[in-house]
Amino acid sequence: MTDEAAHRKTLADLNRNYVRSVDEADVAWFDANLAKDFFNTNPDGSIIDRAAFLAQIGRGSTVKNIREDNVLIRLFGTHAIIHARTTYVRPDGAAGAGRYTDDWHVIDGRWQCVSAHVSRA
């Protein structure tokens, strides 16, 4: 496996677990995989830091059964950008969809998420 293929596999696994961890409110996974200076842009346009994001994840998502598709992983050496579409179930039971963009960077020898941007349709 080439270095690029190995990085893509690692990033695909991280991406899958990121979405799973939102769905399951898995704060420990995020604590282990977010950079210390991580920021997130929420669907309402607010920007929150790492601590606020971990607290937000701990409260659980208002949407359920989140699934990712149309995943595009773009590699730029030690930086990667992941674009994807999500589908989910809204609190009223209706189907919903959105998109996200996550930025990953190699820090201390491993991929860490440095920023995320979430939108919902």
Q: Where are the domains of the chain?
A: 3-120
Listed residue (31, 29, 41, 23) closest to 103, CA to CA: 41
Q: What is the pLDDT of residues 4-61, one digit of tens each?
A: 999 999 999 999 999 999 999 999 999 999 999 999 999 999 999 999 999 999 999 9
pLDDT at 64: 95
Listed residue (54, 76, 50, 60) closest to 25, CA to CA: 60
Instruction: Say yes or no: domain 3-120 is CATH 3.40.640.10.
Output: no
Give the β-pairing of 34-41 and 110-120: parallel
Instruction: Specify the pTM.
Output: 0.95
Confidence of residue 2 (pLDDT cuts 50, 70, 90): confident
